Amino acid sequence: MDTPQSDIIVVGAGAAGLMAARELGRAGKKVTILEARDRCGGRIYSLSTEEFGYPAEGGAEFVHGEAPVTHALLREAGLSLVPVHGTRWNAEHGAFSRDEAPDLGADRLGQALADLKTDVTVADFLERHFAGPEHSRLRHSIVRRVEGYDAADPALASTLALRDEWMNREPSPQARIAGGYGALIAYLAAECRRQAAVIHLNSAVRAIEAADGRALVHCANGEKYAGDRVILTVPLPVLQEIVLPHAVGEKFAAAANIGFGSVIKILLRFKTQWWTSGKGRNLADLLFLLSDQTVPVWWTQCSTERPVLTGWVAGPNTTGLAHLDENKLIETGLASLADMFGLSPKNLTLDLVAARAINWGHDPFARGAYSYATPRTREAQSVLTSSDGAAVLLSGEALYRGRDMGTVEAALASGLETARTIIAADQI
Ligand SMILES: Cc1cc2nc3c(=O)[nH]c(=O)nc-3n(C[C@H](O)[C@H](O)[C@H](O)COP(=O)(O)OP(=O)(O)OC[C@H]3O[C@@H](n4cnc5c(N)ncnc54)[C@H](O)[C@@H]3O)c2cc1C
């Protein structure tokens, strides 16, 4: 059988791949999308409504901040946002208190961050400026934020990138998509098909060859596809598993300078919102609950119709749980909650209706959750996104040079940028 020919082969039907494919299809390109999973969306993974009573998110859940590309797409798709509100609580030494995150712009910390001229890792920065025992609370709070929010290792994470993320900006509003992120992916996939792009599921790419000025893509299922250009949107750890033409492999080695963290997400649906009264406190407004438990972060759905708690372990803290299967992770989550609220895990289990635990580090087509900046990331991104007429291009959340790398917005914006680079180059 003849090898199917395309102008562009997009590897990966996540946010970046679908966004790039749609843009290229609109410009009249013949696009083929090869996706390893049996579904589109990648790290956007909305579960079936039957499981949790709504499309609960196994992957991305929140729309952070301004996110202009996401907002434009939502408007086009007729999807709306539900603002997230509620209070952050701390559970510490058997008591609950409202969380008061340190003011990162304040006093000595703000000054030390403002004075920083050359990038260093967060661990080095803390060691240099805040090593004493009097700063232990501040260190704890910063490390918790770097690990928990950015899924990053403080020994690798860039202080300048975090300064950019934390300071000089309004507090970032958060929202969820009514109908879930899956609705956005369904819209994008339908748009791609409308532009005549063909999506092949269950088509894991294992090698790319350069042949006669074209690229030949080999899938693990034995299928082959030829194209003028290939856009790889696979997560960075997966990139290392694809055999690439030598020169491309050498260029893509720069990806080692981009951090990539892991996340374990635990979703627990209960019969009741039993947590609203915690040890005599009224926790009816609970949004986030932070602690030093094995599963340290929890959040609610801010809705009485959704008695669901989501547990979150991120960054280096996932390593100690790597050996646990899904049931053991669920048990660990229940144990953390029981300990904080002074309840028996057995009673919590009796109230449980549905449970899922997803260790993204074990996902063969992600091998982690999302990227973060190290002191060498901006330089690496410049190398990786320099197109210089190359037949194999890299796109996806990790290549986004704006402030919020590691997000859906970053993936959509990166996909769009890559498509526009190709379209512009072909017009010359
Ligand atoms: C648990 C979790 C929570 C998150 N929370 C948020 C959040 O609240 N808000 C937010 O904005 N972002 C969040 N993110 C990050 C966000 O999900 C990602 O940044 C974004 O979805 C990445 O999109 P992408 O297209 O770059 O990559 P992906 O979505 O990973 O797409 C790449 C695609 O390539 C496919 N693929 C992999 N290997 C191969 C291969 N060999 N051949 C063919 N296809 C292959 C994958 O299956 C995948 O579909 C979260 C991520 C995780 C894991």
- Is the CB–ligand 1 distance for residue 411 below 6 Å? yes
CA 254/CA 234 separation, integer angstroms: 15
CATH fold, domain 86-172+263-359, is Polyamine Oxidase; Chain A, domain 2 (3.90.660)
DSSP string, 143-183: HHHHHHHH---TTT-BHHHHHHHHSSSPPPPEEEETT-HHH
How many angstroms does the Cα of residue 399 sit away from the middle of ligand 1? 13
Q: Which fold has domain 5-45+179-257+372-426?
A: FAD/NAD(P)-binding domain (3.50.50)
Residue 70 reports pLDDT greater than 90: yes
Name residue 228's amino acid.
Answer: D
The whole-angstrom separation of Cα 194 and Cα 215 is 25
Residue nearest to atom 6 of ligand 1 (CA): 60
- Give the predicted TM-score (pTM) of the model: 0.96
Average of per-residue pLDDT across 208-230 = 93
Over 60: is that where the pLDDT of 411 sits? Answer: yes
Q: Dihedrals φ, ψ of 414, to 5°? A: -65, -45
Q: How confident is the model at residue 212 (pLDDT cuts 50, 70, 90)?
A: confident
Residue 102 per-residue DSSP state: -
The beta-strand segments (E) located in 59-202 are: 63-64, 81-83, 87-92, 95-98, 174-177, 198-200
- Calculate mean pLDDT across residues 251-277: 96
CA dist 356 and 265 (Å) reads 8
**Distance between Cα 102 and ligand 1 center (Å):** 31
Q: Are 392 and 229 in contact (CB under 8 A)?
A: yes
Q: Give per-residue burial for 363-381: e unless 16+ CB within 10 Å, then b.
A: bebbbbbbbbbbbbbbebb
pLDDT at residue 304 above 80?
A: no
Q: What's the mean pLDDT in 309-318?
A: 97
DSSP state, residue 322: T
The residue assigned the tokens 């860039």 is 158
Pocket test for ligand 1, best of 231, 234, 252, 313 (most atoms within 8 A of CB): 234
The residue nearest atom 35 of ligand 1, judged by CA position, is 12
Residue 290 burial (CB count, 10 A)? 21
Tens digit of each residue's pLDDT (9 = 90 or more) over 102-137: 555 467 888 899 999 999 999 999 999 999 999 998
In the prediction, which pLDDT does 189 show?
98
CB atoms within 10 A of CB 88: 15
Does the beta carbon of 69 sit less than 6 angstroms from any atom of ligand 1?
Answer: no
Q: Which among 98, 47, 124, 79 has a CA at the least distance from the CA of 354?
A: 47
Distance of CA 194 to the CA centre of its chain: 27
Given a cut of 70, is residue 209 above it in pLDDT? Answer: yes
Model pLDDT, residue 106: 62
Give distance in angstroms: CA of 193 to centre of ligand 1: 20
pLDDT recorded at residue 155: 97
Nearest atom, ligand 1, residue 70 CA: 11
Instruction: Detail the DSSP E strand segments found in 67-161.
Output: 81-83, 87-92, 95-98
Split at pLDDT 50, 70, 90, the class of 208 is very high
How does residue 261 score in pLDDT terms, banded at 50, 70 and 90?
very high
- When the pLDDT of each residue in the chain is averaged and rounded to a whole number, the result is 93
Q: Would you state the structure tokens that stand for residue 111, as one six-digit string?
A: 């000054």
Residue 327, Cβ density class (10 Å: 0-12 exposed, 13-18 middle, ≥19 buried):
exposed
Does the fold of domain 86-172+263-359 match that of domain 5-45+179-257+372-426?
no
pLDDT at 2: 81
Does residue 129 line the site of ligand 1, with CB under 6 A? no
Distance in Å from the first CA to the final CA of the chain: 35
Contact 315 CB / ligand 1 (< 6 Å): no
Q: Which sequence spans correspond to the domains of the chain?
A: 5-45+179-257+372-426, 86-172+263-359
Question: Which amino acid appears at position 289 of this protein?
Answer: L
